[in-house]
Amino acid sequence: MQSRSRFRLRHVISIAFLAAATCFCATSQTQQKTAAPPDRPKIRAITAFINLDRAQYKEQVADALKMLKRAQTIFESRGYQVQTIRIATQPFPEYTKGLTTQQAVAFFKEYDALAVKEKFAASAKRKRTCLRKS
106-116 per-position pLDDT tens digit: 999 999 999 99
Establish if 131 belongs to a structural domain: no
Co-location of 18 and 66 in the same domain:
no
Give yes or no for residue 94 having a pLDDT over 80: yes
Looking at residue 44, what DSSP letter applies?
E
Q: Cα separation of 125 and 7, whole Å?
A: 77
The residue ranking higher by pLDDT, 125 or 19, is 125
The pLDDT confidence band at residue 11, using thresholds 50, 70 and 90, is very low
Co-location of 47 and 29 in the same domain:
no
Co-location of 79 and 120 in the same domain:
yes
- For residue 124, the surrounding DSSP H or E stretch is strand 121-124
Least confident of 21-30, 51-60, 62-71, 73-82: 21-30
Co-location of 64 and 83 in the same domain:
yes
Q: How many domains does the chain have?
A: 2
The pTM assigned to this predicted structure is 0.64
Co-location of 64 and 29 in the same domain:
no
Establish if 65 belongs to a structural domain: yes
The pLDDT confidence band at residue 29, using thresholds 50, 70 and 90, is very low
The residue ranking higher by pLDDT, 24 or 2, is 2
Co-location of 53 and 115 in the same domain:
yes
- C-alpha distances (whole Å) from 6 to each of 1, 30, 49, 86 are 9, 36, 69, 68
